Structure 1
């Protein structure tokens, strides 16, 4: 049975490399639940689903250039594990940075010159309203309504990658606009 699955996977992968949508659908349907369950051992289910979708999307988009040097199953599971580890490490670094920033900024909040805080809020509000509409909508849904990229994508009828791009562009524009306030702005919107 395992040998038959490996052979079938190889046939599907070769068909995917040639652009077969049905082969991709078959491989996706076969592995999506298993890969999500595997990823959920490392990260929460929402992140697990996003990781698996990213890997499957990458496999499709890079079908002409990707080289699978092991079995397709091993390749997929190894890719999921690596992405989970990357996410876990990124979250640890982010948490450490947030803790350091929060400790540094604590003195700022106790500072009698706290009027800067109100100025920052107004500048941030102005900067957000100046964003291109598609960036602003995605950014506000994510940051102020706590919606995931997947939820935003469904609501806006776009891909999660498009949502990611829009939010990254919004952040880039906001960083440029608010560069002198960046440490205070980060702390304000992390809480």
Structure 2
């Protein structure tokens, strides 16, 4: 808790960020700051009072209400994998592709416990919201529509059959470059054969 006998300081913004388990990018959005302003307040002047009284009050309010859901609770990769597989059979490779990631990403998310990028977590959240708002019998249509959107985006990027390859970077069919000849090493004159000084 921020002590009541002092003003809100720059470091308190970071303390509240950590209290809610937010990334810096989420905290910047929550507090309505730019990265430059965040750096000035939190990093450069952590022990200085926050000049904007509204921001100070927002920080104090959030500190006092740590149980609030300040940003959406993003689903875990496991939750999304289960939800999608409740709708249709999707293997890990295709699951990764549905979220714009390379085929091996789901293995890292599900087995290794790697974190997803902020864009992936947000996409998972919104797809989850869209799926649960649909009656169960219509969820397959929504998922198929999203699958088509993913395939169209991949095709527009020059990637054909994204769900088969699992690779978002198009394979370029470059002509094989001829092998470079081994460079001849410079000839060093043998001792005693050079010009005398």
- TM-score greater than 0.5 by the shorter chain: no
Task: Name the TM-score, length of structure 1 as normaliser.
Answer: 0.32
Task: Name the TM-score, length of structure 2 as normaliser.
Answer: 0.31
More helix per residue: 1 or 2? 1
Decide which structure has the larger Cα Rg and report it: 2
